[in-house]
Amino acid sequence: MAGHTSDEFVNQVRSAVDIIDVVGEYVQLKKSGRAYLGLCPFHSEKSPSFNVNAERQFYHCFGCGAGGDVFSFLMNLEQLTFPEALHKLADRAGIPMPEFQSKHEEDSPEKRLKHLMQEAHQLASKLYQYVLTETPYGVDAMKYLTQRGMSMKTVSEYQIGFAPDSWDFLTQFLKKRNFSLDVMVEAGLLAKSDGGKIFDRFRGRVMFPIHDSQGNVIGFGGRMLDTSQAKSQPKYLNSPESVLFNKSATLFNLHRARPYIRKKKQALLFEGYVDVVSAWQAGFTTGVATLGTALTEQQARIIRRNVDSVVLCYDGDAAGQEATSKAIHILQQAGLTVRVAPLPQGTDPDDYIRQHGADAFSQQVLLQAMPVTAFRLKHLRGQIVINDETDKARFIAKALEIINDLDSPIERDLYQRQLAEEHSLSLNDLKWESKRVFRQQKSDRQRDKVEPAWNNSINNGKVTLAKSLPPAYFTAERMLLYYMMRNEDIATRVQQECNAHFQVDEHDALAAYLYAYYAEGNPEDPGKFIHYVQDDSLKQLASGLAMMECKEDVSDLEIGDYIKQVNNYPKRAELERLREEQRSLHLQATAADSEDARKQLEIQAAVTGMKILELENALKEG
């Protein structure tokens, strides 16, 4: 157990929470037999290999090996210490923390720093909102938001605020509360000039708090109120990267939209936070946004963990369409089904909703969302201006490349018919051209994949590597550990009858943990044992073994066979060594320079042969 904790309290919290509910807030889980499956949040994958065992309350990923209980899940995913994870789960279960735990200080300088930054961000968020709603400094900002159609309810929901046009408003506020100003610079709330002067980073801006997946404020997005200064300062300014804020791995509004996304089984992806806020107020609750940068693979994986389908709703200008094209590729690589919502040229979602209303946005934009192929063809039409037959032929060839990427022959046929009708072409001629384009695509791809071999020859044949089976002792050790986690009597028998340690170091270490676990009077429970194990790599090994599909009832004879395999391995290894030694002696005798040397080597080989015979007999008897 981690220090300063009570086993009874930890067990109480573990019993009060369900790992399925906790993991389900981060990963889209589907029931499969006795387990729940989803996409692993710890590595990138398209096919689910992340298993959660509801009965035993632990998880294991067969892709990357991550595994453990509900505490280790939160610790690894949210980068929490054990006390932090315990506190979080106790709060969730409504269990008050004991005095010894509530007074526990963070055990790491980095964790203390992170906690300090979170506290400062939370205070800054409240301060900015107070300035907006309760002071004269916020009057103009409030008028601006009202003109943009934002209600007080929305302002309150999103904790929107205002940073006065002052160099030291927040600086003095934080200083009076004994926050280190240098730490606040590191946190991104303040900034420092080349001369060393510290000042407010955000000035004269409408402030939109940015939250992590659990709803903690980790940064801000500030929209300039006086746009006359836009030439010297950016219109939108985000917090810089910090211990708290990783722009590439954060999605605006995820903590708020996640339950709606899960329920609807679809996410709505915008480019900016104002679009999300406007859409939310209009009743579209599944919106999330990137933070002023292009969509990243990390953000796409976060969406995929929560849902299978996403609708892209980027700006209708050329830059927005280009960003849409890039986002499509990243989202599809993450395994998402993508549709693209059309917006008029030069319009963003916020503008459209304010000008046309929620019904029009629903009917004319979201419900008109088109498949990726339709969008790519529309985007292509905007890129190639057709002035003559050469331009037309180039456009058709490019369009056929897009259509050929479709897996479904029915979809390909539908798009080919549309293309033929659009350009007054014979469908047969178009299909012939499609085959030609496809052959060219295939040839180009094969050429791209060719890598020169070491002998400069090209081998287009396929080589299939045979999978080697693990040694018998390796499988036996794993099977023994599987049953030892479920049966104390088996663990006791293995401890008494195994003459040698397990041959695999990790297996041996895990067995030692099991002996200690049962010696302390703990129950036969793989889930509790996994929590008992302190080493992360062994915790992962234990969760993987516990997830194996093995029959529950095992006979004494089978356990005896597994023990025999473990006990016999040193003998088998020694037998193999002796056989190799005998072969070497025979070869040396054949090449000996003299008769005496040859005889001496043959005698040594015969002695080795006797040892081999003894070992073989011992293995037969044992």
Tell the residue number behind the tokens 């003894």, with chain if given: 614
Strand, helix or coil for residue 260: helix
What's the rounded Cα separation, in Å, for the pair 474 and 472?
A: 5
Q: How confident is the model at residue 108 (pLDDT cuts 50, 70, 90)?
A: low
What's the rounded Cα separation, in Å, for the pair 147 and 354?
A: 10
Q: Retrieve residue 496's tokens.
A: 């008494």
Amino acid code (one letter) for 546: A
Per-domain residue ranges for the chain? 4-93, 109-245, 254-378, 569-621
Higher pLDDT: 392 or 3? It is 392
Beta-ladder partners of 31: 36
Q: Retrieve residue 10's tokens.
A: 């930890």
Q: Which of 346-350, 453-457, 597-601 has the lowest mean pLDDT?
A: 453-457
Q: Which of 246, 252, 259 is nearest to 210 (CA)?
A: 252
Model confidence pLDDT, tens digit, residues 593-608? 788 877 887 777 777 7
pLDDT confidence of residue 197: 95
Q: Retrieve residue 374's tokens.
A: 């339709």
Contact yes or no for 87/97 (Cβ under 8 A): yes
Q: What single string gives the DSSP state of each residue in 397-466?
A: HHHHHHHHT-S-HHHHHHHHHHHHHHTT--HHHHHHHHHHHHHHHHHHHHHHH----TTS----S---PP
Say if 109-245 and 254-378 have the same CATH topology. no
What's the rounded Cα separation, in Å, for the pair 231 and 154?
A: 30
What's the rounded Cα separation, in Å, for the pair 614 and 619?
A: 9
| Model confidence at 465: pLDDT above 50 | no
Residues 6+ apart with CB under 8 A from 208: 158, 160, 220, 221, 222, 223, 252, 273, 274, 277
Burial of 300 (0-12, 13-18, 19+ CB in 10 A): buried
Q: Which of 50, 51, 53, 42 is nearest to 19 (CA)?
A: 53
Q: How confident is the model at residue 328 (pLDDT cuts 50, 70, 90)?
A: very high
Helices 409-422/372-383 angle, 10° precision: 30
The rounded Cα 65 to chain-centroid distance in angstroms is 13
Beta-ladder partners of 61: 50
Contact yes or no for 530/68 (Cβ under 8 A): yes
| Model confidence at 51: pLDDT above 80 | yes
| Model confidence at 103: pLDDT above 50 | no
Contact yes or no for 200/190 (Cβ under 8 A): yes
Tell the residue number behind the tokens 């890598």, with chain if given: 451
Q: What single string gives the DSSP state of each residue in 83-144?
A: HHHHHHHHHHHTPPPPHHHHTPPPSSHHHHHHHHHHHHHHHHHHHHHHHHHHSGGGHHHHHH
Q: Which of 2-6, 80-84, 231-235, 267-271 has the lowest mean pLDDT?
A: 2-6
Q: For the chain, what is the mean pLDDT?
A: 85
Number of Cβ within a 10 Å radius of residue 260:
16
| Model confidence at 272: pLDDT above 80 | yes
**Average pLDDT for 260-273:** 92
What's the rounded Cα separation, in Å, for the pair 292 and 307?
A: 23
Percent of the chain with pLDDT over 90: 36
What's the rounded Cα separation, in Å, for the pair 414 and 226?
A: 51
Beta-ladder partners of 13: none
Strand, helix or coil for residue 592: coil
Q: Which CATH number is associated with domain 109-245?
A: 3.90.980.10
Q: Which of 83, 92, 104, 74 is nearest to 10 (CA)?
A: 83
| Model confidence at 170: pLDDT above 60 | yes
Q: How confident is the model at residue 46 (pLDDT cuts 50, 70, 90)?
A: confident
pTM of the full structure: 0.68
pLDDT confidence of residue 43: 81
pLDDT confidence of residue 3: 43
Q: Which of 180-184, 284-288, 513-517, 570-574 has the lowest mean pLDDT?
A: 570-574
Q: Which CATH architecture has domain 254-378?
A: 3-Layer(aba) Sandwich (3.40)
Model confidence pLDDT, tens digit, residues 362-389? 999 999 999 998 888 888 887 887 888 8
pLDDT confidence of residue 146: 94
What's the rounded Cα separation, in Å, for the pair 215 and 202?
A: 22
Residues 6+ apart with CB under 8 A from 537: 506
pLDDT confidence of residue 229: 63
Q: Which of 283, 251, 266 is nearest to 339 (CA)?
A: 266
Q: Retrieve residue 418's tokens.
A: 């549309």
523: left (phi over 0), alpha (psi -120 to 50) or beta: beta
Name the CATH code of domain 4-93 (choices 3.40.190.290, 3.10.450.50, 3.90.580.10, 3.40.50.150). 3.90.580.10
Strands of the 309-312 sheet, one edge to the other: 287-289, 267-270, 309-312, 337-340, 370-371
| Model confidence at 536: pLDDT above 50 | yes
**Average pLDDT for 446-456:** 48
Model confidence pLDDT, tens digit, residues 171-218? 999 999 999 999 999 999 999 999 999 999 999 999 999 999 888 999
Model confidence pLDDT, tens digit, residues 426-447? 888 888 888 888 888 777 766 6
Q: How confident is the model at residue 455 (pLDDT cuts 50, 70, 90)?
A: very low
Q: Please, how many CA atoms are within 13 Å of residue 267, restricted to the half-sphere of its CB?
A: 32
pLDDT confidence of residue 230: 57
pLDDT confidence of residue 449: 53
Tell the residue number behind the tokens 């990137």, with chain if given: 290
pLDDT confidence of residue 452: 45
Termini Cα distance of the chain: 41
What's the rounded Cα separation, in Å, for the pair 542 and 156?
A: 47
